[in-house]
Structure 1
Amino acid sequence: MVQLDETLMMLKDLTDAKGIPGNEREAREVMKKYISSYANEITTDGIGSLIAKKDGQADGPKVMIAGHLDEVGFMVTNIDDRGFVRFQTVGGWWSQVMLAQRVTIVTSNGDTVTGVIGSKPPHILSPEARKKPVDIKDMFVDIGATSKEEAKAWGVSPGDMIVPYFEFTVMKNEKHLLAKAWDNRIGCAVAIDVLKNLQKENHPNVVYSVGAVQEEVGLRGAKTAAYQIEPDIGFALDVGIAGDTPGVTEKEALGKMGKGPQIVVYDASMVSHKGLRDFVTGIADELQIPYQFEAIPGGGTDAGSIHLTKTGVPSLAITIPTRYIHSHAGILHRDDYENTVKLLTEVVKRLDWDTVNKIKFD
């Protein structure tokens, strides 16, 4: 068994935390625990996004770096007479990754109930049925209850969150890290470590590391947090798609694990700010930090909300290529994480007013 160092312990705690959109308290408390000693002030916005402020130059530009606290999951909608739990997806799911997977229901009083998304054995399926994906609306969670009353006695009720279950694992290749909720606790980890790196730096700005809520259902927490902060520059830190597995073509995804952070040039929520993008890649080239370009026409990041705040904020999404996102478990590369932290730290150190105004107005 691999001995977890300080970084791996933080990543384990972040990914183990349970928190679907609208239920991010546990993940927020973990992020708060790790970031508090690096921040001058910790606040939240009105819907629960964590905002950790670190003062550099008090009258310098405001730099917002945001990961999102929420993970894709499910919500209890009904319990049938036999005690089976019906649910609603919260965030984007593909039905084929859901059947027979273990989940955890968190009740209103904080208790947990283990369940599994039920599936039919192949022995009773017709050849035609075996080829047809099961509709999500027909799925249910089996928690071992024998009646609706028993399930309710355990505290299960409509509105409870249902979270994918998976144990944080350092794989045989110790650079490969396997866990649930990389989307997007890894972005929160980057935001923590950037503040940590700035502890002894006299940076020419004020940095706001944000754990945003409800990204998976519409980039909501980044919108409210950015409205509160009023940033001059914004970064969204998220997972990207690793296209280095069988069956994925370069037309679908260019990213490869271990080849550096992804600089997102375009996604469904935003066209990246060219001046900021060129500034970031210029620093990466100068310091020989590897990076990749990515375009994600079928998804968005919190930068999509940040860049539309008030009169507009130059923004960029930087992502970490991750396999199997929006499923029970994903894999990412530790080097990509560390290079993202290194790059963003160096970027922040250079964002004085002259540089920000040049990015904005050139």
Structure 2
Amino acid sequence: MNNPFQREIWNRLTQAPGAAGFEGPVRDIMREYISTYTSEIVYDNLGSIFGVMRGDENGPKIMVAGHMDEVGFMVSRISDKGFISFQTLGGWWGQVLLAQRVQIVSDKGIIEGVISSIPPHVLSDDQRNRPMDIRNMYIDIGVDSRAEVERLGIRPGQQIVPVCPLQEMANPDRIMSKAWDNRYGCSLAVELAKELHERPEHPNVVYVGATVQEELSGTRGAKTAAAMIDPDLFLALDASPASDIPGVREEGGKLGSGLLMRIYDPGYVMPVGLRELLISTCEEEKIPYQYYVAKGGTDAGVVQYHGKGVPSAVIGIPSRYIHSHASIIDKKDYEAAKRLLFSVIRKLDRATWESILPR
């Protein structure tokens, strides 16, 4: 990877544990980077974090956010024999879990474990022909009693996260890791803060950072962050499922074909004026993009309802295998999203903002 700074932030952000509701380690990293570029940092009371980048105070107030949380788990019960039951945090399909490595963030540090899997030799015919229910899975940390588990500082209510290191693949543009959904958005937010620090002339005030608890129902941090910031316009930075793999209808994003222009999801329709601004910017600057109709939502679906309404859009990228242990992005898509984000922030003066409002 030829960009050491990018490699550093990608590795630190993706490898930090930060299941929904447990974003503290990711927030610490975000604060460390953002505080390098601005001394004005704000938080909501759930833990979302934003750096304030002040350009033209007469321009619109723009909120730009990834979300810090990844899909993960929570310790729910410890058996007498030391096996750990768990609650999912975010959307998991049971078939991606069996025999996968996890880490429990205990009071005494990181404890390694593996999700249960019955060997085929001892499966009944009935078990072979149906998927295992997540409620019947447990985590094995290699001990034999509840007392041993408790001595390791493990107790109900603690977070559990997948294990997958950051890794370049055979095509070096393809990068595999856990938590691209949504440490992609967190890293791009850091890069925007860096850009606005190094080139501070911009026609607006930008609140750039990340929300919490997007993966839980209600996209909770987006609500409280919008109440704190009271933005004029919102840009969500999020990763969405790629559709360029066998067995999936090719109706979404393909790795290496550009950023995702999300025009619709079940809770959101991209505002016409904002859509025209983003697409015209891509066309003028030859930034590759793909139209995307999504089945899931993002923080944009919540922020759009704040106050009298906030024009909102998603600057996204496709990622293979999100909501699993290992996901893959393409650096070219990330760079396309970064180019669009940087360009549109430079364009969004008050007149441009007013021009996209429905009047």
Q: TM-score, normalised by structure 1?
A: 0.96
Listed one character per residue, the Cα deviations across residues 122-161 of structure 1 (whole Å, up to 9, x for unaligned) are 0011233212100000000001121111111111100010
Instruction: Please give the alpha-carbon distance, in whole angstroms, between the structure 2 residues aligned to 1:95 and 1:39.
Output: 43
Listed one character per residue, the Cα deviations across residues 283-334 of structure 1 (whole Å, up to 9, x for unaligned) are 100000000010112x100101111111110001121100000000100000
For residues 9-28 of structure 1, the aligned pairs below 5 Å read 9-28=8-27
For residues 119-268 of structure 1, the aligned pairs below 5 Å read 119-198=117-196, 199-217=198-216, 218-250=218-250, 253-268=251-266
Please say if residues 51 and 211 of structure 1, whose CA atoms lie closer than 8 Å, have aligned partners that are also in contact. yes
SS at match of 1:67: strand
Asked whether 1:79 is paired with 2:78, we answer yes
Instruction: Please give the alpha-carbon distance, in whole angstroms, between the structure 2 residues aligned to 1:40 and 1:346.
Output: 24
Q: Give 1:31 shift.
A: 1.5
Residue type of the alignment partner of 1:153: R
Please say if residues 40 and 54 of structure 1, whose CA atoms lie closer than 8 Å, have aligned partners that are also in contact. no
Asked whether 1:327 is paired with 2:324, we answer yes
- Larger deviation, residues 29-38 vs 324-333: 29-38
Pair 1:292–1:3, CA change in 2 (3 A)? closer
SS at match of 1:361: coil
Instruction: Please give the alpha-carbon distance, in whole angstroms, between the structure 2 residues aligned to 1:110 and 1:155.
Output: 5
Residue type of the alignment partner of 2:283: D
Q: Which position in structure 2 is the counterpart of 1:283?
A: 281
Q: Which position in structure 2 is the counterpart of 1:318?
A: 315
Instruction: Please give the alpha-carbon distance, in whole angstroms, between the structure 2 residues aligned to 1:246 and 1:5.
Output: 33
Instruction: Please give the alpha-carbon distance, in whole angstroms, between the structure 2 residues aligned to 1:147 and 1:268.
Output: 46
Please say if residues 108 and 152 of structure 2, whose CA atoms lie closer than 8 Å, have aligned partners that are also in contact. no
Asked whether 1:301 is paired with 2:298, we answer yes
Q: Give 1:344 shift.
A: 0.7
Q: Identity over the aligned pairs, expressed in percent?
A: 46
Instruction: Please give the alpha-carbon distance, in whole angstroms, between the structure 1 residues aligned to 2:38 and 2:332.
Output: 25
Unaligned runs of 5+ in 2: none
Listed one character per residue, the Cα deviations across residues 161-212 of structure 1 (whole Å, up to 9, x for unaligned) are 0110111111121100000000000011111112222231410000111210
For residues 84-103 of structure 1, the aligned pairs below 5 Å read 84-103=83-102
Instruction: Please give the alpha-carbon distance, in whole angstroms, between the structure 2 residues aligned to 1:261 and 1:288.
Output: 12
Please say if residues 240 and 320 of structure 1, whose CA atoms lie closer than 8 Å, have aligned partners that are also in contact. yes
Instruction: Please give the alpha-carbon distance, in whole angstroms, between the structure 2 residues aligned to 1:89 and 1:319.
Output: 25
Q: Give 1:59 shift.
A: 2.4
Listed one character per residue, the Cα deviations across residues 331-355 of structure 1 (whole Å, up to 9, x for unaligned) are 0000111110110110010101111
Q: Give 1:40 shift.
A: 4.2
Instruction: Please give the alpha-carbon distance, in whole angstroms, between the structure 1 residues aligned to 2:268 and 2:121.
Output: 48
Q: Give 1:94 shift.
A: 0.2
Please say if residues 30 and 209 of structure 2, whose CA atoms lie closer than 8 Å, have aligned partners that are also in contact. no
Please say if residues 67 and 184 of structure 1, whose CA atoms lie closer than 8 Å, have aligned partners that are also in contact. yes
SS at match of 1:243: coil
Residue type of the alignment partner of 2:211: A
Instruction: Please give the alpha-carbon distance, in whole angstroms, between the structure 2 residues aligned to 1:255 and 1:309.
Output: 29
Please say if residues 234 and 316 of structure 1, whose CA atoms lie closer than 8 Å, have aligned partners that are also in contact. yes
Residue type of the alignment partner of 2:237: L
Asked whether 1:355 is paired with 2:328, we answer no
Q: Which position in structure 2 is the counterpart of 1:59?
A: 58
The number of equivalent residue pairs is 357
SS at match of 2:246: coil
Instruction: Please give the alpha-carbon distance, in whole angstroms, between the structure 2 residues aligned to 1:133 and 1:292.
Output: 34
Instruction: Please give the alpha-carbon distance, in whole angstroms, between the structure 1 residues aligned to 2:147 and 2:355.
Output: 64
Listed one character per residue, the Cα deviations across residues 2-36 of structure 1 (whole Å, up to 9, x for unaligned) are 68722111101000000011110001111222222
Q: TM-score, normalised by structure 2?
A: 0.97
Instruction: Please give the alpha-carbon distance, in whole angstroms, between the structure 1 residues aligned to 2:24 and 2:3.
Output: 25
Instruction: Please give the alpha-carbon distance, in whole angstroms, between the structure 2 residues aligned to 1:168 and 1:81.
Output: 36
Instruction: Please give the alpha-carbon distance, in whole angstroms, between the structure 2 residues aligned to 1:111 and 1:101.
Output: 20
SS at match of 1:234: strand
Instruction: Please give the alpha-carbon distance, in whole angstroms, between the structure 2 residues aligned to 1:33 and 1:169.
Output: 24
Q: Give 1:223 shift.
A: 1.0
Residue type of the alignment partner of 1:101: Q
Instruction: Please give the alpha-carbon distance, in whole angstroms, between the structure 2 residues aligned to 1:290 and 1:166.
Output: 29
Over aligned residue pairs, what C-alpha RMSD do you find?
1.3
SS at match of 2:215: helix
Pair 1:111–1:64, CA change in 2 (3 A)? same
Instruction: Please give the alpha-carbon distance, in whole angstroms, between the structure 2 residues aligned to 1:110 and 1:300.
Output: 36
Instruction: Please give the alpha-carbon distance, in whole angstroms, between the structure 2 residues aligned to 1:135 and 1:170.
Output: 33
Residue type of the alignment partner of 1:89: T
Please say if residues 40 and 55 of structure 1, whose CA atoms lie closer than 8 Å, have aligned partners that are also in contact. no
Please say if residues 58 and 350 of structure 2, whose CA atoms lie closer than 8 Å, have aligned partners that are also in contact. no
Q: Runs in 1 of length 4+ with deviation above 4 angstroms? A: none
